[in-house]
Structure 1
Amino acid sequence: MIGENLRKHRLKKGITLTELAQRSKVSKSYLNSLERNIKNNPSINLVKRLANELGTDIYQIIGEEKNSENPINEREEWRSFIKNVRDAGIENGELSEYKELIDYIKWKNRKVGG
């Protein structure tokens, strides 16, 4: 799925595979493998670079809903996590980066398990 999303956004932006590879500092062959779903396990840093170059966010690249609901049984765990994050001095504005990372890890875990 990541390959189709990547290709769709690249074509929508009107840039070639070579241009995107150069801009995102990744080899053209690796990027081609991602688009063809031969490789489907890119790093979070690469996904962020690609999303940035394509003018979108990681959720559009990995094909996840940005504001997906957590199951009820996880809410208390999330509350505890957020309390720990705030206790560590991390501000609300910085939380979006952590949410992106957590969503990416959840996506990656589903890919490995599924």
Structure 2
Amino acid sequence: MIGKNIYEIRKRRGLSLTELADRAGIAKSNLSNIERNLNQNPSINVIEKIAVVLGVDLKTLLKVERNIEPKRTQLDEEWVDFVNELKELGVQKEQMQEYKTLLEFIKWQNEQDVNKESGKRSTN
């Protein structure tokens, strides 16, 4: 099931097996085994990597129905392009960990903004 979904989305994206495996950072043989349902229980980590490269969420890969929302796909493709650009610039995953605190602060700040907006609406 999941292998068929990956295969179909990969083909729609115009990616070869090698391209997807390389971009996801997994072995080509592992991806091939997943697509051919020889590996019917891949790790969630591997599936997440594949989903990011394909520009879809995990639910899309796990569903029987393969309805891909165009707006969501576009956003995901932009993130994939961004990550690929970072890789091309030589940024390593380990370096990205340095920014984790900053990202957590931005997330907290966004949550505060949402809470403020919710408070304003409830008092009006």
TM range (shorter): 0.5 to 0.7
Unmatched segments (≥5 aa) in structure 2: 66-107, 112-124
Q: Structure 1 residue 43 and structure 2 residue 43: aligned?
A: yes
Question: Which protein has greater RCO, CA pairs closer than 8 Å, 6+ apart?
Answer: 1
Q: 2:44 and 2:64 mapped to 1: Cα distance?
A: 14
Unmatched segments (≥5 aa) in structure 1: 66-90, 94-114
What SS is found at the alignment partner of 2:40? coil
- Normalising by structure 2, report the TM-score: 0.50
Deviation digits for residues 44-82 of structure 1 (CA, Å, limit 9, x no counterpart) = 1111110110010101111268xxxxxxxxxxxxxxxxx
% identical equivalent positions: 42
Matching residue of 1:23: 23
Q: 1:55 and 1:61 mapped to 2: Cα distance?
A: 11
Deviation beyond 3 Å, 4+ runs, structure 1: none
Name which one, 1 or 2, has greater alpha-carbon Rg: 2
Mean Cα deviation higher: 9-18 or 38-47: 38-47
For residue 45 of structure 2, what is the amino acid of its counterpart?
A: N
Alignment size in residue pairs: 67
Q: 2:43 and 2:34 mapped to 1: Cα distance?
A: 12
Deviation digits for residues 93-114 of structure 1 (CA, Å, limit 9, x no counterpart) = 7xxxxxxxxxxxxxxxxxxxxx
What SS is found at the alignment partner of 1:50? helix
Q: 1:29 and 1:43 mapped to 2: Cα distance?
A: 15
